[in-house]
């Protein structure tokens, strides 16, 4: 927990420990909020995943879910709010302001902290994206509350009704569950694809609360001069790929890694890699799956020459179907695999590529 030791006395309860009694002031905090991340007219899917998760937690606590939307005067925040309702939100807090057009830390921190101080949610969730990580840290330190980053599981502790936020620790060898018992709101960030995408319910609606920011451009140090899209960003979209073929150090050389690319191409999937392959410069860092890489949830995950270390598994074990190819029948990857092939990846990968290519070619002939 990253609670600031210099927290304001008014936010401290009388006691410490799990049976801590919240002050009347902190007991007033109610409801679960999700910061809805949007950029250039698109909402990041992690926001909907978090609204779905917030709904489940709120049903346990018996409280409401609210979406928080900050943006420029003409941005479609009301439309995004309507979408948030379909995913499970009951309410949306919206702030339109010229200084909120395009993400900058200062106005977004002020916007979010002001809303929290005014409406007092007990839990605040953000995506563990570049924006979410930047914003969550500054909001938590401004509010003097606890933030658990990169959570893999969220639950409600029945004893305290506190948020139990689980995340890997000690280099991924242990999971720890962290509770912010003494401060409000309880904050957590969650990576894209860790939580399931909820099914939208078009009949759901909710209440919209409009608020104001009270900040002017001259108060902001950073200036947004232009937006230049990174030509390489989103080229590799591992978290949302349906099929991933992942290569590990068992492939031995970067030349052999091409076998992974060939199978992924035939299957119309993406290429993933373990950390040592990235560190060796065989593939781009954006392809790394695992604790310090991406979390993925594809329909099919093929792991070739991957040992299955816990730091890798934490990023891929939620895949629907896992196929592992490894020469060592005792490799840990087989503990999470639905199908295991004990064999040499340099032989198995080309055989699979050939078999799938022949299968799809035949399918295309039948359809034509």
Ligand X SMILES: Cc1cc2nc3c(=O)[nH]c(=O)nc-3n(C[C@H](O)[C@H](O)[C@H](O)COP(=O)(O)OP(=O)(O)OC[C@H]3O[C@@H](n4cnc5c(N)ncnc54)[C@H](O)[C@@H]3O)c2cc1C
Torsion of CA 322, 327, 330, 334, to 10 degrees: 0
Pick the binder of ligand X from 312, 317, 323, 334 (CB under 6 A): 312
Residues 187-246 that bind ligand X (CB under 6 A): none
Please state, in angstroms and rounded to a whole number, the distance separating the CA atoms of residues 356 and 340: 18
CA distances 165 to 46, 87, 168, 189, 235, Å, are: 17, 22, 10, 9, 31
Q: Counting contacts by CB under 6 A, is residue 344 touching ligand X?
A: yes
Strands of 243-247's sheet in order across: 270-273, 243-247, 300-304, 321-326, 339-342
Q: Counting contacts by CB under 6 A, is residue 113 touching ligand X?
A: no
Pick the binder of ligand X from 47, 152, 307, 319 (CB under 6 A): 307
Q: Counting contacts by CB under 6 A, is residue 325 touching ligand X?
A: yes
For residue 161 the two structure tokens come to: 């009704």
Of the pair 320, 328, the CB lying nearest ligand X is at 328
Pick the binder of ligand X from 132, 250, 269, 298 (CB under 6 A): 250
The closest alpha carbon to 33, from 152, 168, 135, 181, belongs to: 135
- Write down the least CB distance from residue 286 to ligand X, Å: 12
Residue with tokens 């599981």: 153
Q: How many residues sit close enough to ligand X to count as binding (CB under 6 A)?
A: 30
Q: Counting contacts by CB under 6 A, is residue 172 touching ligand X?
A: yes
For residue 121 the two structure tokens come to: 């949610």
Q: Counting contacts by CB under 6 A, is residue 357 touching ligand X?
A: no
Q: Counting contacts by CB under 6 A, is residue 292 touching ligand X?
A: yes
Cα 13 to the center of its chain, rounded Å: 31
Q: Counting contacts by CB under 6 A, is residue 328 touching ligand X?
A: yes
- Write down the least CB distance from residue 342 to ligand X, Å: 9
Q: Counting contacts by CB under 6 A, is residue 275 touching ligand X?
A: yes
Cα 28 to the center of its chain, rounded Å: 29
Pick the binder of ligand X from 52, 127, 293, 298 (CB under 6 A): 293
Of the pair 93, 257, the CB lying nearest ligand X is at 257
Which helix (H) or strand (E) is 325 found in, with range? strand 321-326
Selected range binding ligand X among 38-46, 131-139, 259-267, 289-297, rule: CB under 6 A: 289-297
Q: Counting contacts by CB under 6 A, is residue 288 touching ligand X?
A: yes
CA distances 169 to 5, 273, 291, Å, are: 21, 22, 10
- Write down the least CB distance from residue 246 to ligand X, Å: 8
- Write down the least CB distance from residue 179 to ligand X, Å: 24
Q: Where are the alpha helices (DSSP H) in 228-271?
A: 254-267
- Contact between 84 and 92 (Cβ < 8 Å): yes
Q: Counting contacts by CB under 6 A, is residue 86 touching ligand X?
A: no
Please state, in angstroms and rounded to a whole number, the distance separating the CA atoms of residues 280 and 79: 45
Of the pair 46, 345, the CB lying nearest ligand X is at 345
- Write down the least CB distance from residue 165 to ligand X, Å: 19
- Side-chain-side CA neighbours of 93 within 13 Å: the count stands at 24
Q: Counting contacts by CB under 6 A, is residue 152 touching ligand X?
A: no
Residues near ligand X (CB under 6 A) are 171-172, 248-250, 274-277, 288-293, 305-307, 309, 311-312, 315, 325-328, 331, 344-346
């Amino acid at each position: 927990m990253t609670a600031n030791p210099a927290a304001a006395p008014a936010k401290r309860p009388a006691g410490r420990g799990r049976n801590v009694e919240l002050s009347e002031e902190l007991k007033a905090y109610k409801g679960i909020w999700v910061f809805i991340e949007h950029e250039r007219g698109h909402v990041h899917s992690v926001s909907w995943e978090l609204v779905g998760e917030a709904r489940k937690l709120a049903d346990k606590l018996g409280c409401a879910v609210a979406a928080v939307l900050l943006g420029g005067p003409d941005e479609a925040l009301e439309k995004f709010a309507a979408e948030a309702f379909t995913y499970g939100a009951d309410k949306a807090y919206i702030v339109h302001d010229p200084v909120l057009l395009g993400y900058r830390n200062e106005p977004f921190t002020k916007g979010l902290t002001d809303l929290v101080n005014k409406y007092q949610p007990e839990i605040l969730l953000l995506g563990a994206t570049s924006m979410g990580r930047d914003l969550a840290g500054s909001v938590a330190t401004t509010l003097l509350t606890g933030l658990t980053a990169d959570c893999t599981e969220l639950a409600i502790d029945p004893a305290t009704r506190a948020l139990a936020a689980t995340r890997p620790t000690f280099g991924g060898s242990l999971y720890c569950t962290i509770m912010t018992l003494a401060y409000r709101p309880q904050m957590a960030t969650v990576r894209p694809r860790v939580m399931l995408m909820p099914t939208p319910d078009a009949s759901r609606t909710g209440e919209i609360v409009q608020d104001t920011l009270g900040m002017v451009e001259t108060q902001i140090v950073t200036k947004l001069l232009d937006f230049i899209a990174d030509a390489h960003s989103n080229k590799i979209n591992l978290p949302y790929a349906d099929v991933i073929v992942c290569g590990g150090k068992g492939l031995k050389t970067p030349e052999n890694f091409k076998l992974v690319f060939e199978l992924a191409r035939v299957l119309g999937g993406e290429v993933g890699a373990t950390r040592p392959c990235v560190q060796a410069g065989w593939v781009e860092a954006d392809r790394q799956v695992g604790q310090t890489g991406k979390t993925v949830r594809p329909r099919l995950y093929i792991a070739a020459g991957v040992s299955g270390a816990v730091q890798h598994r934490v990023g891929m074990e939620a895949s629907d179907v896992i196929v592992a190819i490894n020469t060592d029948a005792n490799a840990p990857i087989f503990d999470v695999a639905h199908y295991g092939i004990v064999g040499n990846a340099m032989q198995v990968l080309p055989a699979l590529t050939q078999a799938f290519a022949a299968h799809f070619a035949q399918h295309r002939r039948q359809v034509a």
